[in-house]
Structures are given as structure tokens and as C-alpha cells.
Structure 1
Amino acid sequence: MAVKTPFSASEFKEILARYDLGALLDFAPIAHGSVQTNFFLQTTQGRFVFRYYENRSPGSVAFESHLLQYLTQQHYPCPAVLLDRHGAALGIYHEKPYLLFTFVDGEHLERPDERQQQQLIQRVAQLQNITRDYQPVNKDERLNYTVENCRELARQQARRIGTTNAHEKLVWFERVLARLQLPSSLPCGICHCDFHFSNILFKDGEFAALLDFDDANYTFLTYDLVTLIHPFLPTFDWYSWSDFQPGDHILDFSAASRTVREYERYRPLRADEKQHLFDIFQLSIMFDCIWYFERGQVSDFFEKRKIDALDALGRDAFYRSLF
């Protein structure tokens, strides 16, 4: 169970008193999710979702609220944010922010079929089309996926861990970031950045909604695309990477190139986006490395194997393999 802060019926009644959503009938914690506290609320007017942000500033939650209201206006499939009687979306309870959402019916699929995967790719491309010219609120209160933020997070991790291995890993980390080529001309916008199966709903086999914009931020528009591609052997992943030897062939672009082609059906990539997809993909690997900075020795670990394989291939060959 992912509930970090328990709530009572009387507390939910106090919160619901701000809204025109009817009287509370029942509530239940939501098991999915590992960061924020989530509950289903059943009232006399329907079913809703309550999200209590354990570690986000009000400004960061306002970013999410404004974004979701904009996406709802654009008829994008996502939960709608509910407003209270005063027209406010953001609430504060015991000094932490919260939002109420419409409930979207559907199921989470751990293994969507090919057609359902194509629907996800379409919706990802649509998200970038919609937010290309969107002006976010409180953009800088989010962890935007930039090289600068990536570097600073790695430095924080190295200081926190404090081991020789962590500091040596930081040296490697900064060396990789320093050679990324990401010109300022690359288009930016909103990316969701977390397509875990628990954040995607299907209803009767059709894409129903993209959930949980807690990691959404302002970054390169192709960041979401690179998180959908896996240009490695299907057998090469976190659980099996150590079965391979350094220097083994681990690249396989067959699935990745299909994903890119499907994406471009809905949002054709600019020439510079194609040219620097290699760099965006490496940046995504480096952010993954931050979340797991303690695991592995600097001489050989999962993310380093990926970076080494891509460096051995090179930017031009990466481009040709995809396009």
C-alpha cells in the first residue's frame, strides 16, 4: 500500500465541504504509486480520486494542475482536475498540497499488445503536439530534465553517499554529460516522463487515459519518445545485463525503429531532433542513473554498459539505425 499519510472519514468530509461533490459514502487507499498518497472517494455524486502530495511544493502542484486543465480543454485523455466552490484547484491540508480528480474507468495492462502500444505512442506524440506552444505555470518549480539539473542531482547524490565509488562515478557521469550535443534550438515542451504500466489505462482494449503527471516537466520534446524506445536486445535489461560480458553486442534497433516510425505518423521530427536523438537518449540514461546512483561499481554497471554500447556505435550510426 502506497499511503504515507492516513486519512479518516471526518478529514475527508472536511475536505469535501469545499466542493459540490455530494456527501462522502466511502473511501479506500490506492495501492499503485510509490511517492504520493492516493485515495478513491465515493460520494453521493460519483467516484473521485484524491491525491495528497507528500514531497511537492504548492507551486509544483500548481504546474500539474494548470497543465491538466489545459490538456482537458484540448480533449486529451487524462483525468480532469476538480475545482472547489471558489474556482480553485489546489488545496492545502495540514501544510501539504492536494488535488481532486475525476475518476477514469479502465484497467492497467502490464503487457499491452502491439495495437495498444501503438495507441500509447500516438497519445505521446499528441501530448507533444498539444504542449509545443503551451506556456507552463511555475515551470521552474518542477525538476526539468536538463543537462544542468542532471549534473547537479548527480553531485548531490555523490555528496550524500560519500564513498570513493560514488565520487568516481560522478567523474564518469560529468564526462558523459560534457560531450552531449544539445543545441538550444531543439524544441522544448511538456513531457510526461513516466510511462509505467500503472500510469496508463485501457478500457475495452482501447487507450482510455494517461495518469500521474507527477514527473511531468518542461524539457526537450523528444524526451518522451526516447523513454519509449529500447535499442537493445530484448534479453538485455536490469535483471540480465550482468550475464553479458563488456563489449558483447547488445544493440537491436528493430523495435526502436518501429516506435520512431509510429511516432512520426503523428508528430514528424525535425532534422535537428533526429540528429540529436542520440544525445537525448543518453541524457535519459543518465537520469535513470541518478535514481540508482548507489548500485554498481564505477568500473561496470547497468547504465555504463548502455552508454558504452552507444558510444561504440556512434551518433551517426545511431541515426542510420533508427531512420
Structure 2
Amino acid sequence: MAVKTAFSRHEFSDILSHYNLGAYLDFAPIAHGSVQTNFFLWTTQGRFVFRYYENRSIGSVLFESQVIQYLKDHQYPCPAALKNRQGEAVGLYHEKPYIIFEFVEGQHLEYPDNLQKKQLIQKVAQLQNITRGYKPENTGDRWNYDTEQCCELAHAAAKRIGTPNAQAKLAWLEHELAQLQLPASLPKGICHCDFHFSNILFKDGEFNALLDFDDANYTFLTYDLVSLINLFMATFDWNTWPDFKQDEHVFDFRQARATVLEYNRHRPLDTNEKKYLFDVYKLSILFDCIWYFERGSVSDFYERRKITYLDSLSRDTFTAELFAAPG
């Protein structure tokens, strides 16, 4: 269960007294989610979702509320962040921020069918169409996925771990970041960055809402696109990669090509976005390296092997394969 902070009925009654959401009736913890604490709240006006941010600053949560308000203003399907009587969407309780969200009906599908996958891709493209160039007031309070942020987080991870292997991995990562080509002309906006099935709701088989903007940030618009694709064979994964030789062919572009084609229907990529998708994809792998910085020896680990394979493929071949006509 993903509840890190317990709440009593009296505490929820106190919190709800600042809203026009009816009188408190009941609450129940929400099991899914691994970072923040989530509860269902029932009042005389219905059901709501209470999210208590265990490890986010008030500025970071304000960024999230600003993004959600912007999306709701543009009719994007996501739960609204409900405002209290003072017109504020973010509250503080015991010095930690929280938001009360509207409850949206639907089911989490671990294995969506092809039509449902296309609906998700379309909604991701719509998200980037809406937020292109949008930079919320509290953008500086988020981890915005660029090379500078990646380097900063890697330094923090290496310092925290404090081993020679971590320092050597940091040096490798800094070298790889320096090789990326990410021109300032690449369009930016808001990306969600976490399309786990538990963050997507379907109702009667149709896409109904995108949830949990806890990792959303201001970055290259194509970052969400590369988050949706996997260029590697299904048998090549974090726990199987040592079984492959370093010169072995591990790519399978078929599913990635279909994803890019569908995305491009709803948000056509410009020439630069196509040309430098290779670099954004590598940047996403380097961020993955940070989330698992303690995993593996610097000489050969999962994310390093992926970067090595991509380099052997080259940017031009990557682009040609990814944007080739289906066949």
C-alpha cells in the first residue's frame, strides 16, 4: 500500500472544512502509486481524490496545478485540481502540500488493445499541441528534462552513493551528455513523462483521462514521444541484457515506427524534431540511468549498453529506420 502518512477522519474533516465539497463521510487509501500518498474521500457531494505530496516542494506542486488548470481550460481529459474557498488549488497540511482532485470514472488497463494504444498516442500528441511554448510560472521549481538537469541529478546521485563506481559512472554520463545535439530551436512545452498503465483511465473501452502529472515538466516536446517507443527487441531488457553480445543486433523498429506514424498524424514533427529525435531518445536513456544509478558496474550496464547500440546504429540510420514507410 502506497500510504506513507496516515490521516484520521478528524484531519480530513478539518481539511474539507476549507472547501465547498460537502461534509465528510468516509475515506479509503489508494493502493497504487509508489511515491505520494493518495486517498479516496467521500463527502455528501460525491467522491474525490486526495493527494499528499511526500517529497515535493510547494513550488513543484504549484507547477502541477498550473499545468492542470491550463489543460482543463483547453478541454484536455484530466482530473481537475479543485480550489478551496480562497481560490487556491494547493493546500498545506503539516508543512507538506496537497491537492484534492475530482474523481474520474474508468479502469486501468495493463494490456490495452491496438485501438486503445492509438487513442493514448493521439492524446499524447494533443497534450503537446496544447502546451507547445507554454511555460508555467513555477517551471523553475520542477526537474525539467534537459542536459543541465540530467548532469545536476547525476552529480547528486554520485555524491549520495559515494563509491568509485558511482564517480566513474558520472564521468561516463557527462561525456555522453556532451555528445548530444539538442539545438535551442527544438520546440518545448509540457510533457507528462510517465505513461504507466496506472496513470491512464479507459471507460467503456475509450480513453477517458490522463492522471498523475507528478513527473510532468517543461522539456522538448518529443520527450513524451520517445517515452512511448522502444526500439529494442522485447527479449532485450534490464534483466536480460547481459545475455546479448556487444555487437549483436538488438533492434526492432516495427512497433516504434507505428507509434511515430500515429503520433505524426496528430502532431506533425518538423524537420529538426525528426533529425534530433535520436538525441532526445538518448537523453531519456541517460535520465533512466540516474533513476537506477546504483545498478551495474560502469564498465558495462543496461543503459550504457543501450547507448552503445544506438551509437553503432548512428543518427542517420536511426532516423531512416524510424521514419521509413510501413512495409
What interval of TM-score do these two structures reach, taking the shorter chain for normalisation?
over 0.9
How far the C-alpha of 1:26 sits from its partner, in A, is 1.0
Q: 2:150, 2:133 → 1: CA distance?
A: 24
Contact 2:135 2:218 in 1 (8 A): no
Match of 1:167 in 2: 167
The code of the aligned residue for 1:122 comes to Q
Query: 1:5 aligns to what SS in structure 2?
Result: coil
Match of 1:274 in 2: 274
Equivalent runs, 1:156-195 vs 2, <5 Å: 156-195=156-195
% identical aligned pairs: 68
Q: 1:173, 1:135 → 2: CA distance?
A: 28
Query: 2:62 aligns to what SS in structure 1?
Result: helix
Match of 1:242 in 2: 242
1:239-263 alpha-carbon deviations (Å, 9 max, x no partner): 3222212221111111111100000
How far the C-alpha of 1:160 sits from its partner, in A, is 1.3
1:47-102 alpha-carbon deviations (Å, 9 max, x no partner): 00001111111111111111101111111010011111121111111111110100
Q: 1:73, 1:171 → 2: CA distance?
A: 44
Q: Does 2:60 match 1:36?
A: no
The code of the aligned residue for 1:275 comes to K
Q: 2:167, 2:239 → 1: CA distance?
A: 25
Answer with 232-241 or 61-70: which moved more.
232-241
Match of 1:316 in 2: 316
Q: 1:201, 1:219 → 2: CA distance?
A: 24
Equivalent runs, 1:193-232 vs 2, <5 Å: 193-232=193-232
Equivalent runs, 1:134-153 vs 2, <5 Å: 134-153=134-153
Match of 2:27 in 1: 27
Q: 2:245, 2:22 → 1: CA distance?
A: 61
Query: How many residue pairs end up in the alignment?
Result: 323
CA RMSD of aligned residues (A): 0.8
Match of 1:56 in 2: 56
- For structure 1, the 5+ residue unaligned runs are none
How far the C-alpha of 1:288 sits from its partner, in A, is 0.3
Contact 2:227 2:284 in 1 (8 A): yes
How far the C-alpha of 1:133 sits from its partner, in A, is 3.1
How far the C-alpha of 1:236 sits from its partner, in A, is 1.1
Contact 2:133 2:187 in 1 (8 A): no
Equivalent runs, 1:84-95 vs 2, <5 Å: 84-95=84-95
Match of 2:81 in 1: 81
Equivalent runs, 1:122-141 vs 2, <5 Å: 122-141=122-141
Match of 1:111 in 2: 111
Query: 2:266 aligns to what SS in structure 1?
Result: coil
Scaled by the length of structure 2, the TM-score of the pair is: 0.97
Match of 2:287 in 1: 287
Scaled by the length of structure 1, the TM-score of the pair is: 0.99
Q: 1:169, 1:251 → 2: CA distance?
A: 25
Query: 2:202 aligns to what SS in structure 1?
Result: strand
How far the C-alpha of 1:135 sits from its partner, in A, is 3.2
1:141-193 alpha-carbon deviations (Å, 9 max, x no partner): 00000100101111111111111111111111111111000001110000000
How far the C-alpha of 1:305 sits from its partner, in A, is 1.1
How far the C-alpha of 1:203 sits from its partner, in A, is 0.8
